[in-house]
Structure formats: C-alpha cells, structure tokens
Amino acid sequence: MITLKNAEKKYNGNVVLAIDNLTFQRGEIVGVVGNNGAGKTTMFSAILDLIQLSDGYIENNQQRVNQSEEWKKYTSSYLDEKFLIDYLTPDEYFNLVGSLKGYSSEDVQEFISGFRAFFNGEIDNKRKYIRNLSKGNQQKIGIVASLIGNPQIVLLDEPFSNLDPTSQYRLRQIINDFQQQNNCTFLISSHDLNHVAEVCSRIVILEKGKVVDDVKTSDETMMRLESYFAIF
C-alpha cells in the first residue's frame, strides 16, 4: 500500500532519513522502532506529506502523496497533540472527524461507544475541553479519532506512551481487533519493545534514518530486539 523509494530528508546537510526501498503491505501491523533521532517521526511525517522529501518519493496506493490528496480519504493518523483541536470537547472532536468521513453524529456515537472500556469513564459526557484533559486521555481521544471512518491505513506515533498499564494492554487489543475486522494496515512507532513484539506482525528497526533490520515477528523477535538495543 505504501512504498518509500530512495526517500531522503536532509536538514542543513544532515541526513535524517534515507530509505532506499520500503514497502508496507495491506493488512500488516508494522512496528517501527529505533532510538531517539532514528527518523521514526520524520518518516511518518513524510508519509503524511507534512514535510517535503529532499529526494525520492513516497507512494500511497500507487499515488505519490505530494501530488494527489486521495490518500487523505483512507489514511488517518495520530502523531501528537497537534492533531487535536483542543478547544473542542471530545464529542465535538469525534463528530468533526466523523463528519469529514461522511458520518452522522449518531454513527460516530455508536462507533465511540465501542471504546467505553478504553476511556474508562473519564471522557464520556464530560463537559470539558480537550485542553483540560490529562495527557493520557488526550492521547486516547486522538487514537480513537484516527480509527473513525473505516481507514485502510492508520499511523500512530508512540501510541503507548502516556497511557496507564491497563490502557496499554487495551490498546494492544484494540489494534489487533480493528486490524482483523477491517484488514487495514497499521504503522506504529514505539519505544516499548514488549508491546511492539506482541502486537506487530512485522518490525522495522531504524537507525540514523536507515533501515537496519526488517523482520516478520516470530518467537525470537523479542530476543533479537533486545540484543539490538541492549547496551550489555
């Protein structure tokens, strides 16, 4: 579905992303791991055409992301709180995202009600603006909003951070269930190797903007990840 070809991004001569050839297939749950500065967020931003590549191109469904805007119809994302409109209430925000996908507010409410356990009663019917909610709750809102409207590709940047332990396990389940129901592609970046090894079907390790490893998840994956990242 998504192909990066010779994708390179430089800032003042420093190469922060240099991917020769990388393709994500439909139905994959891809975990993108790497230390700070490895280029995870840069790659996501480039896929979403939020930054311009210095060289190469990225295709989403055979169309270059910087030439056609078709991808916006079936790709959704939550990278950080810049994807939230913080002076809206959670419900208003969900309804807005839904309306962009042609959903009525009843449809949206029905969809959202499936995430009641994830929200843990901290968001429903709250007459509070998103800006007044805790970071964890804001993140939950962003993640759930990115699932509205039957997307075929979902990009999540560090979705497990800021969440309490139970919510982290719930999120794992949500991603798995959602992928199975919709056969969609997930791109997930994370620092939490455990979650990634558990939830993803494929893992891409980035270092200094380059792909250094790209494996299908198996029983040995966790060991392989640990041997790569551990310092001893």
Partner 1 sequence: MSQIINSLNRKSFYRSTYWQKSVAKKILVGFFVFYLSISLLIMGFTLPEILQAYFPEQEVISAFNQNLLYFFIFSAILRQLFQEIPVVNSIPLLVLPFKKKKIARHLVNKSFFHFFNFLPLLFLVPFAFDTVLEEYSVGNTLGWLINLVGLILIDHMIGIWLKRFSFYKEKMSAIISGVGVGLFVVSFFSIIPVSIWIGHYFDAVLGYPVLAAVPLIFIVLLYRFNIKEIAKGMYLDSRLMPVEKDVSLHAFSWTDKFGSIGKYLSLELKMITRNKRTRSAFMSVVFLLLYGFIVYGNSSMANHDVSLIFIGILITGSFSVSYGQFTPAWHSKYFPFLMTRDFGLKNMLNAQYFLFIASTLIAFIFSTIYLIYGAKVLFFNFLSAIFNIGITSHIVLWMGSFSSKPIDLSQSSFFNYQGTGASVWMMAFVIILGPILYFGLLSLLLQDIWSYLIFGLTGIGGIVFHESIMRKILIRYKKNKHRMLYSYRQTS
Minimum CB distance to partner 1, residue 74 (Å): 9
State the minimum distance, in angstroms, from the CB of residue 139 to partner 1: 14
CA-based angle 179:180:186, to the nearest 5?
A: 15
CB of 202 to partner 1, least distance (A): 23
Cα separation, 170 vs 185, in Å, equals 19
65-71 contacts, C-beta under 8 A, 24 or more apart: 71/153
| CB neighbour burial string for 47-72, b if at least 16 within 10 angstroms, e if fewer | bbbebebeebebbbbeeebeeeeebe
Residues 3-42, one symbol each (x = binds partner 1 by CB under 8 A, - = not), give ----------------------------------------
Contact code string over 61-80 relative to partner 1, x by CB under 8 A: --------x--xx-xxx-x-
Whose tokens are 């922060």? That residue is: 16
Taking residue 188's Cβ as centre, other Cβ atoms within 10 Å add up to 25
Which is nearer to partner 1, 127 or 165 (by Cβ)?
Answer: 127
Beta carbon of residue 28, minimum distance to partner 1 (angstroms, whole number):
20
Is residue 160 a contact point for partner 1 (CB under 8 A)? no
The CB-of-50 to partner 1 minimum distance in angstroms stands at: 6
CB 97 within 8 A of CB 148: yes
Beta bridge partners of 145: none
Which residues in 86-115 contact partner 1 (CB under 8 A)?
86-89, 92, 96-97, 99-101
Q: Does 152 bind partner 1 (CB under 8 A)?
A: no
Q: What is the contact surface with partner 1 in residues (CB under 8 A)? A: 48-52, 69, 72-73, 75-77, 79, 82-89, 92, 96-97, 99-101, 126-129, 131-132
